[in-house]
């Protein structure tokens, strides 16, 4: 039968035990591997490995490449020795699922138990166990999901938000949180919109870490209006709403209320970008953080954003004008005029040349006439702006102006600090 017993005296630790013969080892291993793979749900993702992940894409900006390499390195390290939780957060097509599947495939190749499942599919499978034709009982599947050595939950936040679904999801996550079982989560949803019970566990820095993958959608071709090397969003990946501190040390009660109002206004704009938003305040007051948070929020939803400082914007235009081989001036100019969402940080035209002033007027006037969503941040007084630009920004039917009262904040916010 492929087993043997050892000829040892009574009382020996191996007495009476059956051991598999070496002739059976290969078939036993094959059966176990087949069982593990059937449990893993990875058949359709067998090609998603670290070897097939492009961590050095040439079509990304420098900061974006750095972010992608960092994400790859953290995921690979986790795959070799899973411990705690890992959440990959970012927009559609940024590579989250590939890295999560690569972690699962690495562990499966090492002979360890792993289950990869999208959150909506998991809930569908649980519902299906109540049907008369189900081949597995609800309790059996639920226990597998709760106690599997490594669980990968893909696309958290895309499930139907019914009370039953939220409760089952919470039970799974809470059990794994309490037992500190290795868990990988991917999401393109704003973490702030998740069930507070689930969110608090995902953001517990004592158990897990978060990879922010604010990168372009690699699955689709870049739209004609998508700025390639124009947007600087990759440099602002940590400036999201969750890391904005409205309760800074040394601020007055009035300043804290003002910061909270600024946060609320920016978050509302991020949810539904319409019209213009002008954030005024001294350097370091938080206006750039809020503008970048708007950009990151929209980017996670797969939308096209161009975030650029005034100085860099003008440099891009000059470079395109002097070297049309790299990027034609008309192409660059139209990217700025037609961008679905343009965020101009550190808006300041003091000392600008007549040519630069004229180009900026054209961009702003075009976006005003075509009603394209635009965000400005500036440390200048509105009265000091160019008359035409000031006229457009002063149209309260279309532009919301908010002055942040807080002073220069050098301390920085604590990650995921409660507001």
111 plus 165 within the same structural domain: yes
In angstroms, the Cα distances linking 244 to 47, 122, 240, 385, 414 are: 39, 33, 7, 28, 8
93 plus 54 within the same structural domain: yes
In this predicted model, what pLDDT tens digit does every residue of 232-241 receive, in sequence order? Answer: 677 788 889 8
176 plus 292 within the same structural domain: no
Domain boundary among 161, 183, 213: 213
349 plus 238 within the same structural domain: yes
Q: Name the pTM for this structure.
A: 0.50
Any domain includes 21: no
In the DSSP assignment, the letter for residue 380 is: S
208 strand-pairing partners: 85
160 plus 47 within the same structural domain: yes
pLDDT at residue 419, rounded to an integer: 36
Instruction: Give the largest Cα separation in the chain, rounded.
Output: 101
pLDDT at residue 418, rounded to an integer: 35
pLDDT at residue 236, rounded to an integer: 81
CATH number of the domain to which 261 belongs: 3.40.50.300
- Tokens standing for residue 325: 């081989």
72 within 8 A of 50, measured Cβ to Cβ: yes
Any domain includes 23: no
274 plus 172 within the same structural domain: no
199 plus 246 within the same structural domain: no
Any domain includes 60: yes
pLDDT at residue 33, rounded to an integer: 59
268 plus 174 within the same structural domain: no
256 plus 108 within the same structural domain: no
pLDDT at residue 130, rounded to an integer: 78
pLDDT < 70 stretches in the chain: 25-26, 28-39, 59, 133-135, 216-232, 321-328, 409-419
243 plus 384 within the same structural domain: yes
Any domain includes 223: no
209 plus 63 within the same structural domain: yes
Any domain includes 22: no
pLDDT at residue 325, rounded to an integer: 46
pLDDT at residue 417, rounded to an integer: 39
pLDDT at residue 374, rounded to an integer: 96
* Number of folded domains that form the chain: 2
341 within 8 A of 273, measured Cβ to Cβ: yes
In this predicted model, what pLDDT tens digit does every residue of 288-329 receive, in sequence order? Answer: 999 999 998 888 887 888 899 988 888 888 877 665 545 567
150 within 8 A of 84, measured Cβ to Cβ: no
CA distance 304 to 222: 9
206 plus 249 within the same structural domain: no
Any domain includes 357: yes
- Tokens standing for residue 301: 């939803």
Quote the domain boundaries for residue 239: 233-403
In angstroms, the Cα distances linking 206 to 74, 80, 195, 245 are: 17, 20, 20, 21
Any domain includes 6: no
In the DSSP assignment, the letter for residue 115 is: E
Beta-sheet pairing, 276-280 with 208-213: unpaired
pLDDT at residue 102, rounded to an integer: 94
Domain boundary among 143, 178, 213: 213
CA distance 97 to 152: 10
Any domain includes 42: yes
pLDDT at residue 32, rounded to an integer: 60
């Amino acid at each position: 039968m492929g087993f043997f017993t050892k000829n040892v005296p009574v009382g020996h630790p191996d007495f009476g035990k059956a051991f598999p013969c070496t002739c059976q080892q290969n078939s036993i291993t094959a059966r176990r591997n087949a069982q593990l793979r059937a449990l893993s749900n990875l058949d359709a993702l067998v090609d998603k490995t670290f070897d097939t992940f492009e961590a050095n894409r040439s079509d990304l900006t420098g900061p974006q490449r750095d972010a992608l390499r960092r994400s790859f390195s953290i995921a690979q390290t986790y795959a070799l020795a899973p411990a705690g939780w890992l959440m990959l957060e970012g927009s559609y097509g940024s590579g989250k699922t590939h890295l999560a599947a690569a972690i699962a495939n690495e562990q499966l190749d090492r002979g360890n138990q792993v289950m990869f499942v999208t959150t909506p599919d998991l809930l569908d499978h649980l519902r299906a166990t109540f049907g008369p034709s189900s081949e597995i009982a609800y309790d059996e599947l639920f226990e597998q999901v709760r106690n599997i050595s490594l669980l990968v939950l893909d696309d958290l936040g895309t499930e139907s938000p019914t009370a039953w679904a939220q409760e089952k999801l919470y039970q799974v996550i809470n059990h794994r949180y309490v037992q500190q079982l290795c868990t990988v989560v991917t999401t393109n949803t704003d973490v702030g919109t998740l069930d507070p019970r689930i969110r608090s566990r995902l953001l517990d820095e004592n158990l897990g870490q978060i990879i922010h993958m604010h990168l372009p959608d690699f699955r689709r071709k870049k739209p004609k209006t998508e700025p390639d090397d124009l947007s600087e969003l990759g440099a602002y990946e940590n400036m999201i709403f969750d890391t904005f501190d409205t309760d800074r040390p040394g601020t007055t009660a009035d300043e804290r209320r003002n910061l909270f109002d600024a946060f609320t206004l920016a978050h509302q704009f991020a949810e539904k970008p319409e019209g213009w938003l002008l954030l005024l305040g001294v350097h370091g007051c938080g206006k750039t953080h809020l503008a970048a948070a708007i950009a990151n929020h929209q980017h996670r939803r797969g939308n096209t954003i161009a975030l650029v400082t005034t100085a860099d914007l003008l440099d891009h235009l000059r470079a395109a004008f002097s070297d049309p081989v790299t990027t034609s001036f008309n192409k660059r100019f139209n990217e700025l005029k037609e961008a679905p969402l343009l965020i101009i940080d550190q808006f300041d035209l003091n000392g600008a040349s007549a040519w630069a002033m004229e180009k900026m007027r054209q961009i702003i006037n075009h976006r005003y006439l075509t009603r394209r969503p635009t965000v400005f941040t500036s440390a200048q007084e509105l009265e000091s702006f160019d008359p035409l630009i000031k006229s457009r920004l002063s149209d309260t039917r279309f532009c919301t102006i908010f002055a942040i009262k807080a002073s220069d904040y050098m301390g920085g916010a604590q990650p995921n600090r409660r507001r």
